[in-house]
Structure 1
Amino acid sequence: MFDDFLIRAALAGIGLTFATGPLGSFVVWRRMAYFGDATAHAAILGVALSFAFGTSVYLGTLGVALAMALTVARLSGRGHAMDTVLGVLAHSALAFGLVAASFQSGLRVGLSAWLFGDILAVSQADLVVVWAGAAAVVALLAWRWQGLLTATINDELAMASGHDPRREQLALTIALALTVAVAIKIVGALLIAALLIVPAAAARQFSRSPEGMAAGATGVGILAVLLGLWGSFRFDTPAGPSVVAAATVLFVLSLPLRRRG
């Protein structure tokens, strides 16, 4: 019989993958891996500010992650080189977050949990937040699905079809910030982007449609969560990194499937 904390961890991880599966597919299609990294790194600054002002970590993280995502989108739209902007902001946000965290004695001791996640410490209240956040992300992506797909293919095609590419980018930005906010306690700021990208990259090998890839990425993510938790319990390894490691193994195993399709 599994312990309650393992069941809560599995439910939290599974709930998160319902958001990271379809969202990660768009991250892969749009080549936004570094964008996700910058948003996730900014989450540490949100955690530090939440501790400093005594507010909810989820709300603080969401606010800072959303501000970072909107800033990146605004600067890249003004002609700045996207990779340079993302590189500067990602590392700067992480550095300022770590510096701010060093002034919070309670946060400094448990900082590794926010960097690498602590899925085994998920509470019932955290489960509610994770599933509610994942449901909001799925609802947003489902609502804007066709517009997002069209804008991903081509901005001009999206405009001709009656979809505003900037509006679709905003929807994707909000979804990414919300996912980062609910994921930080599970896999940590340094591993969020990996959980977005790796299952989607694995699903890409055997998927024949955008919807199939989104569903496949969710399935790979769920399997990675279960395998990662099993490995963590069996070999006494960190749970968050174990989940990402399991996802990476599944990605490697998926590579031959591309040649069969």
Structure 2
Amino acid sequence: MLYDFLLRAALAGVGVALAAGPLGCFVLWRRLAYFGDATAHASILGVALALAMSLPIALGSLVAALTLGLGVVLLGRGEQNSDTSLGVISYSALALGLVTASLAGGNRIDLSAYLFGDILAVGQGDLVTILLGAVAVLALLAWRWEGLLLSTLNPDLAAASGISPRRESLILTLALALVVAVAIKVVGALLIGAMLILPAAAARSFARTPEAMAAIAAAIGALSAVAGLAASFWLDTPAGPSIVTASTVIYVISRLAPKGGTARG
């Protein structure tokens, strides 16, 4: 059918949003926005290498994002007091990816679609990869929810309860790398951070528990994906940025709404 590509795009956007929303809550609670950006930017290097070697894009971005994320956590730099280090890593990784693409492929490699997303070009294979990745992230978060939450709110209490905060940080890094790998086709490396942060930030105004905040963030992200795609179709605007713009509008509305939530993190 003529609009099959829109259906695939909508499913891909919703799939990414359902995984990014709950994960974004942990990013907010741990104040790791820079960490998310650094991981997303590092994925561009993986994309460039994957294109140069004719490997799957999702695999390349996953390996690059996971390598950087694990390196930062293992070196003890995944905390909120290392904004400068993460900023340096973030932009250096992005620049290195662009330079690598230029050296490896000359004019054959165009990374613009991976910087800003190309959701309307999502094929059936891409859709399967995105949905499987989203399911894996949700399953991982559900499996480790209590440990992740306790180590986020009180690392000392988590350690006393037999939960390793370092292990939970590694699990969170794995989930973040998976989201980056599946989202890069949808909104691009430069906007993945927005898909993590904006729905979770908007959900704060409506949530009374961490679980409710995660669920509301997922719903807001899904609504943003559908609304952004609709706006892109009718206004002929870029799809990825339109999705983020829709999420921004919802965030602004949430800030104007009466504040009743307590899941502040």
1:123 alignment counterpart: 123
Q: Counterpart in 2 of 1:223?
A: 223
Alignment-derived partner of residue 11 in structure 1: 11
Give, in whole Å, the separation in 2 of the partners of 1:152 and 1:36: 16
Output the CA distance in 1 between the equivalents of 2:73 and 2:79. Answer: 11
Q: Could you tell me which amino acid in structure 2 is paired with residue 59 of structure 1?
A: L
Give deviations 1:43-88, integer Å, cap 9, x for gaps.
1100001012221111111000001101211233599951122011
SS of structure 1 residue aligned to 2:5: helix
Change (3 A) 1:14 1:64: same
Q: Work out the CA distance in 2 between the residues paired with 1:29 and 1:81.
A: 14
How far did 1:224 drift? 0.3
1:173 equivalent in structure 2: 173
Note closer, same or farther for the CA distance 1:211–1:2 as it changes in structure 2 (3 Å cut).
Answer: farther
Structure 2 gaps of 5+ residues are none
TM-score, with structure 2 as normaliser: 0.94
User: Kindly tell me: are residues 193 and 5 of structure 1, through their superposed partners in 2, closer, same or farther at Cα, counting changes over 3 Å?
Assistant: same
Please, which runs of 5 or more residues in structure 1 have no aligned partner? none
Any conservation in 1 of the 2:207–2:260 contact (CA below 8 Å)?
A: no
When structure 1 is superposed on structure 2, of 239-248 and 50-59 the one drifting more is: 50-59
Structure 1 residue 259, shift from structure 2 partner: 2.8
User: What do the CA deviations read for 1:13-49 (whole angstroms, capped 9, x no partner)?
Assistant: 0111121011011001111100000000001100001
Measure, in 1, the Cα distance between the counterparts of 2:168 and 2:80: 20
Which residue identity is paired with 1:156?
A: D
1:178 CA displacement: 0.7
C-alpha spacing 1:47/1:203, structure 2 compared with 1 (3 Å) = same
**Amino acid corresponding to residue 175 of structure 2 in structure 1:** A
Which one-letter code corresponds to 1:256 in the other structure?
L
Checking the alignment, whether the CA contact within 8 Å between 2:32 and 2:79 is kept in structure 1 is no
Deviating beyond 4 angstroms after TM superposition, the runs of 4 or more aligned structure 1 residues are: 77-81
Structure 1, 1-10 or 136-145: larger mean CA deviation: 1-10
Confirm whether residue 232 of structure 1 aligns to residue 204 of structure 2. no
- With 216-225 and 67-76 compared, the bigger mean Cα shift is at 67-76
Quick one: distance in 1 between partners of 2:115 and 2:208? 35
Q: Tell me the matched-pair count.
A: 260
What CA RMSD, in Å, does the superposition of the two structures yield over aligned residues?
A: 1.8
Task: Find out whether 1:59 has 2:59 as its counterpart.
Answer: yes
Q: Are the equivalent residues in 2 in contact too, given 1:51–1:107 (CA < 8 A)?
A: no
**Per-residue displacement from partner, 1:144-187 (whole Å, max 9, x unpaired)?**
00000000011111012221101100100000001100110110
Aligned to 1:68: 68
CA distance in 2, matches of 1:26, 1:255: 20
Residue type of the alignment partner of 2:22:
P
- What is the 5 A alignment of 1:155-174? 155-174=155-174
Q: What do the CA deviations read for 1:181-207 (whole angstroms, capped 9, x no partner)?
A: 011011000000100000000001110
In terms of fraction of residues, the more helix-rich structure is 1
